[in-house]
Amino acid sequence: MKFLTTSALALTIAAPALADTDKAAVIETYADIAQAGYEDSLSTAKALQDAVAALVAAPSEDTLVAAREAWLAARNPYQQTEVFRFGNPIVDDWEGKVNAWPLDEGLIDYVDDSYGGATDENPFAASNVIANPTLELAGQEVDASLITPELIADTLNEADGIETNVARGYHAIEFLLWGQDLNGTEPGAGDRPYTDYVVGADCTGGNCDRRAAYLTSATQLLVSDLEEMAANWAEGGAAREEVSANADAGIVAMLTGMGSLSYGEQAGERMRLGLMLNDPEEEHDCFSDNTHNSHFYDGKGIQNVYLGSYTRVDGSTVEGPSLSDLVAETSPELDEEMKGKLDATMAALGAIKTAAEEEGFAYDQMLEAGNEKGEALIMGGVDGLIDQTRTIERIVTALSLEDMEFEGSDSLDNPNAVFQ
Amino acid sequence: MTYRLTLCAALLAAPLVAPLAAPAQAGVPEALSAHILPGFAGFAQATETLAGAAQADCTAASLREPWMHAFDRWNAVADIHIGPSETGALPVAFWPDSRGFTPKTLTRLITGEEEVGRDPVAYADVSIAARGLYPLEFMLYDPDFWDYEPGSYACTLVQTMTRDLARQAAALDAGWEEQFADVLRTAGQEGNATYMGEDEAVRALYTQILTGLEFTADTRLGRPLGTFERPRPTRAEAWRSGRSLRNVLQDSKGAYDMAAALADWDLPQSKAALDRLYELAERVEEPSFQAVDDPSERLHVEILQQQVRALSDALELEIGLRLGIQPGFNSGDGD
């Protein structure tokens, strides 16, 4: 039997030696794409902030729809940055502030009776901060008379260390714009009326001023969080510096992000688990029914990193030397395999998006128990993501990056020494 | 891909095992024949016994023992998540259930007396929250559920659930025996689109071993431990039936047994680490981890957690370093 080290080394020897400069250029492209992605997320979040201000100032069907459209537009660039998460601790530690999910939305606002109350895991699942100027969290009385970004960030979010107490980020804002989706696995998204923001006698849902304060504060937090991350990837930013510090470690970070998002996170947690639970709330953007886009752009982000190319929200392109170029130098076949699998995944995720947008077959309908068409669509995406993960592992081996894990990057300089 | 940088430092400090001086042998066929295939066969048999017992007497008191036995058998292969188990493990063992889907779904079925609860074949379409070992634990041990009468809907539901579980176990057994075992055995041969080389098959199994131990340390032990200020005893696995500690030991042993079958050399450090884990387990007084808010008991459980990690480190040293491999991506990489 032959083993990994032997085959990996054989590949290394057969291939021309790769200069570290090549890898540095690949990492620079990666950091440039991250920077552009977070900048686009920030600019679209600022547009959302403007739309929220307009909604709160003059609640109407039009201003509510405009705010929802701004939220949807803000999601697409953000989802393409999720691939930066797992390989970069700076991103992973921060991510929960903007994209935590799933959430017990009853912490924030009113919910339907079918939601139930406190759960075994979360005694605050129905605490409803908007309706309660004072409340008790983990044995402490909390003064919530003023809803501010600080209250949300420091007290409410992850209250009592419970992860589903998501008080901030895209999904909290999504809930405040759409409300609960009470259609189960039937058609339709959340249907919060604009009158939930009308102050005075026409207010629905109660406490419209506090709801407006919450939405405004949560949006403000999103903007400041994204400012922080865009700065981390700008020239001299901490995340850019960290991933650029060691060329091999940087490439590992890129591949780790691609593989972990593909397999454990997207194929597993977000897609297959929801399908197997048949729970319509197990869709990522469950209030807005935007999950088809959320999954599509997650997949797109993985492909962007491999191909070294990102199309910005203004239509311009950020591109440069890519992981694909690097792999092609070592093994053109492997590069073709990776590109083919990424294409296959995007086709499968595209089929979900098409079904949702053109046939009105929303993601939560696909989750219905016994819905074979929905299951086939979702599992098509899952299978593609799992399959591409295997090729990502092959790339780690082919680029001899595993050896680095044992011996430090400089051992790669002279692989022949191992044979002596 | 889980890169353990701290461990790498530890590995460097350890006496170097020359990875290539003597080509290492690892036995995918041996791991299959000595561990994986008998594991699934044993689980299939135990769930068949459980379903048969439920047919004869559905009451909780008479089913606890065969359920315990089925869970014991499951633990040998519980942490394998490739091949038929890639999708097939979750409906047998959906845990953790951080949003309480299991009691919610069971309550819905029982109060609505939903027809699907009487049909073991149709039951395959029910949410995984109400299928497999953990919802059965609710039915057999939770005071809100276990006191059902013979002839009641809940009684029929338990019969359906055990039959569904036996069907799942038989499908897993057949999937491994008749299909996926060959995919692993023929790794690298023409026509095998899953594993391009034997090395990939070895790494796939090795990944299962380390991922399982990581899950045991971080989740089976980490969840009830919570933080010192805020321990979370009811987040322990299978605490209602008192088998939390038993699962930790059996799952760790399952990982070690698979590793020992995969390696055709001795694993003295790993064996010692496993033996030590069993010794340390004797100090834990409450096998369902319900006393982790007591500082001394908490310490015992923390030590157990460290020892599971020590077992994992020993296996990395004795298998990973020797073969020069790192674990691949795993299903627990998400959050």
Q: What is the pLDDT of residues B268-326, one digit of tens each?
A: 999 999 999 999 999 999 999 999 999 999 999 999 999 999 999 999 999 999 998 88
What is the 3-state composition of chain A as percent helix, strand, coil, each rounded to the nearest 5? 65, 5, 30
Domain CATH code at residue B270:
1.20.120
Domain CATH code at residue B58:
1.20.1420.20
Same domain, yes or no: B334 and B213: yes
The reported pLDDT for the residue numbered B6 is 37
Same domain, yes or no: B208 and B133: no
Same domain, yes or no: B252 and B123: no
Same domain, yes or no: B151 and B297: no
Tokens of A376: 């086939």
Contacts of A168 (CB under 8 A, 6+ apart): A97, A98, A100, A152, A153, A156, A157, A218, A221, A222, A225
The residue type of B229 is E
Same domain, yes or no: B93 and B139: yes
What is the pLDDT confidence band of residue A3, given thresholds at 50, 70 and 90? very low
A406 touches chain B (CB under 8 A): yes
Question: To 10 degrees, the CA torsion angle through A186, A187, A189, A191?
Answer: -90
CA distance B294 to B68: 27
Tokens of A106: 């009853």
Give domain status of residue B299, yes or no.
Answer: yes
Task: Give A55→chain B minimum CA distance, Å.
Answer: 33
Contacts of A236 (CB under 8 A, 6+ apart): none
Same domain, yes or no: B104 and B213: no
Query: Cβ contacts (< 8 Å) between A265 and chain B: which residues?
Result: 333-335
A309: three-class secondary structure by DSSP: strand
Domains of chain A as residue ranges with CATH: 18-103+166-407 (1.20.1420.20)
User: Above 70 in pLDDT, residue A122?
Assistant: yes
What is the pLDDT confidence band of residue A341, given thresholds at 50, 70 and 90? very high
Average pLDDT over residues A176-184: 93
Query: Cβ contacts (< 8 Å) between A105 and chain B: which residues?
Result: none
Domain that holds residue B280: 197-335
Question: What share of chain B has pLDDT > 70, as a percent?
Answer: 91
Peptide bond into A102 cis (omega under 30): yes
Give domain status of residue B303, yes or no.
Answer: yes
CB contacts under 8 A, A 248-307 vs B, are 252, 255-256, 259-260, 262-266, 268-270, 272-273, 276-279
Query: Cβ contacts (< 8 Å) between A102 and chain B: which residues?
Result: 99
Residue finishing a domain among B158, B185, B212: B185
Nearest to B199 among A4, A160, A369 (CB): A4
User: Would you list the DSSP string of B124-177?
Assistant: GGS-GGGSSHHHHHHHHH-TTTS-PPTTSHHHHHHHHHHHHHHHHHHHHHHIII
Average pLDDT over residues A28-41: 98
Same domain, yes or no: B263 and B324: yes
H or E segment to which residue A236 belongs: none
The answer to whether the beta carbons of residues B308 and B217 sit under 8 Å apart is yes
CB contacts under 8 A, B 79-138 vs A, are 86-87, 90-91, 94, 98-101, 103-104, 125-129
State the complex-level ipTM.
0.86
The answer to whether the beta carbons of residues A257 and A84 sit under 8 Å apart is yes
Tokens of A159: 């209250």
User: Would you list the DSSP string of A133-161?
Assistant: SEEEETTEEEE-SS--HHIIIIIITTGGG
CA A50, A52, A58, A63 torsion-angle sign: positive
- The verdict on a CB contact (< 8 Å) between B127 and A273 is no
8-state DSSP, A19: P
Give domain status of residue B13, yes or no.
Answer: no
8-state DSSP, B263: B
CA distance A190 to A72: 14
A191 touches chain B (CB under 8 A): no
* Beta-carbon contacts below 8 Å between A and B: 145
Same domain, yes or no: B201 and B334: yes
What total of structural domains would you count in chain B?
Answer: 2
- The verdict on a CB contact (< 8 Å) between A418 and B104 is no
Same domain, yes or no: B149 and B287: no
CA distance B222 to B217: 6
Average pLDDT over residues B103-126: 96
CA distance A298 to A262: 9
pTM equals 0.89
Query: Cβ contacts (< 8 Å) between B99 and chain A: which residues?
Result: 102, 104, 119, 121, 164
Same domain, yes or no: B305 and B214: yes
- The verdict on a CB contact (< 8 Å) between A3 and B198 is yes
- The verdict on a CB contact (< 8 Å) between A116 and B25 is no
Nearest to B129 among A6, A262, A277 (CB): A277
Of A11-20, A157-166, A263-272, least confident by mean pLDDT is A11-20
CA A241, A245, A247, A253 torsion-angle sign: negative
- The verdict on a CB contact (< 8 Å) between B3 and A252 is yes
The reported pLDDT for the residue numbered B29 is 96
The reported pLDDT for the residue numbered A198 is 98
Same domain, yes or no: B84 and B228: no
User: Above 70 in pLDDT, residue B105?
Assistant: yes
pLDDT digits (tens, 9 = 90+) for B155-207: 999 999 999 999 999 999 999 999 999 999 999 999 999 999 999 999 999 99
The reported pLDDT for the residue numbered B25 is 54
Residue finishing a domain among B126, B150, B185: B185
Give domain status of residue B300, yes or no.
Answer: yes
The answer to whether the beta carbons of residues A81 and A37 sit under 8 Å apart is yes
Give domain status of residue B137, yes or no.
Answer: yes
Same domain, yes or no: B166 and B226: no
User: Would you list the DSSP string of A85-106?
Assistant: TTT-HHHHHHHHHHH--S--GG
Nearest to A393 among B8, B226, B329 (CB): B329
B226 touches chain A (CB under 8 A): yes
- The verdict on a CB contact (< 8 Å) between A402 and B331 is no
Query: Cβ contacts (< 8 Å) between B334 and chain A: which residues?
Result: 260, 263-266, 268-270
A394 touches chain B (CB under 8 A): yes
CA A38, A43, A45, A49 torsion-angle sign: positive
Strands A317-319, A134-137: parallel, antiparallel or unpaired by DSSP? unpaired
Give domain status of residue B73, yes or no.
Answer: yes
Phi/psi at B98 (nearest 5 deg)? Answer: -70, -15
Residue finishing a domain among B163, B185, B207: B185
